[in-house]
Structure 1
């Protein structure tokens, strides 16, 4: 029987080539390969033994790739039930001990996780762009959340966002380091 599910592959590291399922395109969108490659070229050896947090988990492809590139653990938040099932399945198919999936609202759950971490984390925001109903204010909510996070608990905050969305220069204790565009998407790094 043919598998009609959508897939994405891990592009590098110890899990290179491993296929991950994608949730429905009506609830999530996959990160472009070129954008993902640029992200991990930028982070390179900095991820060694780091903690990585993917604020909007989707398939988990970014956090799983972070562990593939040397992060010791990745945490994911996902609100959508169907996407959460795919996220858990993907994590279990790769390595059951290196991932923690949390179902629920990122804005409610993330601060407690960040406060509980013993190691400063890399925090990755890939909010659902404004194609979903009720997502018009998602960027401002992410900015507000970031401004209230303790800098001592975060190594870097990375936003995947629509281009040419103008990103704030300062978010609380974090300053925009650089932005790199990839067609209609971009990555912005805060330190």
Structure 2
């Protein structure tokens, strides 16, 4: 199935502004548009400096690499598609930095084995997976995030996803997508 995006996206801010990233044709891959990324990174601007970032379902790597460009200290980009990881690795090899890694793995299996704390997590899976609750539950159960961590979750427009232990603090729609910012809930359940 051919996607509706061109074969590349550009980093829109930070030290790698203008850098092109390859977008492979893969079922379910929908790179986050520049105008959505601009909004998301304005939400996150104060949280990225020296942050540890996880980009699950990385696809083109645009969200994780954009975070790195804007001051994140450590970034892990996880994707199951080997071609996506190959393209991301081609891009990040030019950074000559061991603090940004592309990992070819299933997101759930990665989270089950991970022991790293993350300040910012991007969760943008193919919509058909319907995997949000599993991912958010694992992040919380494995203590991979804390009450100060921020989670970007993108889902199909019209979806009303809620997960025990979390609250949505920002939400907007663009085309077929609903993009949201989550954090651990301050309410006790």
TM-score by length of 2: 0.83
Q: Does 1:178 align with 2:170?
A: yes
2:87 and 2:29 map into 1 onto residues whose CA distance is 11
1:161 is aligned to 2:166: no
* Structure 2 residue runs without a partner (length 5+): 1-5, 184-189
CA gap of 1:116–1:41, structure 2 versus 1, over 3 A, is closer
1:64 aligned counterpart, secondary structure: helix
Mapped to 2, the partners of 1:22 and 1:60 lie a distance apart of 9
1:77 Cα deviation from its structure 2 partner: 0.9
Name the count of aligned residue pairs. 177
1:122 shift after superposition: 0.6
Q: Which runs of structure 2 are paired with 1:92-107 in the superposition (5 Å)?
A: 92-107=93-108
Cα deviation for residue 27 of structure 1 reads 5.2
Aligned-CA RMSD value: 2.1
Structure 2 residue 120 is the aligned partner of structure 1 residue 116:
no
TM-score normalised per structure 1: 0.83
Separation of aligned partners in 1, 2:119 and 2:79: 18
Distance 1:25 1:163, change over 3 A: same
Q: Contact 1:27–1:80 at 8 Å: present in 2 too?
A: no
